[in-house]
Amino acid sequence: MTSVPPPFDPELSAALELIKDVISPGFTMADIATLRQSAGIQLLAELDLTLDGAFEVQDRTVPGPADAPEISLLICRPVAPAVPGPLPVIYHVHGGGMVLGNNRVGLDVPLAWAQELGAVVVSVEYRLAPEHPHPAPVEDVYAGLLWTAEHAKELGGDPERIVIAGASAGGGLTAALALLLRDRQGPAVIGQMLLCPMLDDRNDTPSGHQMKGLGVWDRTANETGWTALLGERRGGPDVSPYASPARATDLTGLPPAFLDVGSAETFRDETVTYASRIWQSGGIAELHVWPGGFHGFDGFAPQAALSQAARAAHVDWLRRLLAR
């Protein structure tokens, strides 16, 4: 097996060159506090989530898991939806390696979907590791989904048309949420969008080794995120599939999935394997591997041709899903 990495797409390589002094591919536990105070995180509070008045935005505090704190949901409702009646609901789980971020991170992506398709967006804030290890993050995500399903009509949404979605750590938590909803007989969702998802705590795939020290998220960062979430259990025999969905032995009975990932990123092989296992279990999955894409490329370089193609594929899948 070669350790030579696949090349980055030329446009994306140029984007990486521009951000290389700001974002490095690896970080350690000692870096978490500094990264949480970074300019990028601080700027999130200043984003116009209304998209020039297209959405009404509300912060709402709702019950968390049993014997745990309340959680914050960011609710974005179209002001003048093109179609009358209850709207689809996109339940969004933010990324950040399990250790960073809030419910504004990455929200521009589902808001763009919602603006084009006419949907309500609900973005959940969950407790972060290492202060709050597994199962705190996924239980917060589950509690937020329960509230969203119960109150969907109040939000102008359709409880029968909820799609769960997330990128990176949010993609992993979204996959875990789908497993929890199945196993606890929770509210039904019609689809799961797993974008460059963080699925496997074992951190030992060929793509992980190939991309060491490259891109924006490598094996060092991945080990940091998983260790923060799981502590000494990371990589061992007793890791729950609700923490690390790649550990699930049964992928039957899950909602249709959309998975995408770059060919030049750490999560490539675990994402491809997860899609293959859904098919092997008789499930429905659409998989896109974007040639030369690095982790989260469409967020870092949204104007690149590959990013535009990826974002168009997201909307196309959602449109087909909602038309069923």
Residue 176 in contact with residue 248, Cβ under 8 Å? no
Using a 10 angstrom Cβ sphere, with 0-12 exposed, 13-18 middle and 19 or more buried, the burial of residue 83 is exposed
- What backbone phi and psi angles, to 5 degrees, belong to 67? 60, 30
Nearest to 137 by CA among 110, 177, 167, 105: 177
Banded pLDDT at 199 (limits 50, 70, 90): very high
Nearest by Cα to 148 from 75, 230, 98: 75
Per-residue pLDDT averaged across 148-162, rounded? 97
**Least-confidence region, from 38-42, 96-100, 123-127:** 38-42
- pLDDT at position 191 is 98
* pLDDT-above-90 percentage for the chain: 90
The more confidently predicted of residues 197 and 44 is 197
- pLDDT, residue 44, reads 64
Residues 222 and 198 sit within 8 Å (Cβ to Cβ): yes
In this prediction, residue 21 carries a pLDDT of 80
Chain centroid to Cα 102, Å, comes to 12
Nearest CA among 211, 173, 175 for reference residue 292: 211
Span 68-113, pLDDT tens digits: 999 999 999 999 888 888 999 999 999 999 999 999 999 999 999 9
* Residue 122 β-bridge partners: 75, 91
- Over residues 47-76, the mean pLDDT reads 96
Phi/psi at 20 (nearest 5 deg)? Answer: -65, -30
> Residue 162: its pLDDT value, please?
98
The residue-averaged pLDDT of 215-222 equals 96
Q: Which two tokens stand for residue 24?
A: 């490095």
Tokens at 307, concatenated: 């990013």
Report residue 41's pLDDT band, with 50, 70 and 90 as the boundaries. Answer: low
Residue 233: closest CA among 241, 184, 194: 241
Backbone angles phi, psi at 91, to 5 degrees: -95, 115
Model confidence band, residue 37 (pLDDT cutoffs 50, 70, 90): confident
- Distance, CA of 8 to CA of 15 (rounded, Å): 10
Average pLDDT across the chain, whole number: 95
Q: Which of 262, 307, 306 is nearest to 108 (CA)?
A: 307
pLDDT tens for residues 290-306? Answer: 999 999 999 999 999 99
Judged against a pLDDT cut of 60, whether residue 166 lies above it is answered with yes
Rounded CA gap, 129 and 155, in Å?
30
- 3-state class (DSSP) for residue 290: strand
Collapsing DSSP to helix, strand or coil, 273 comes out as helix
Residues 76 and 63: their CA atoms lie apart, in Å, by 19
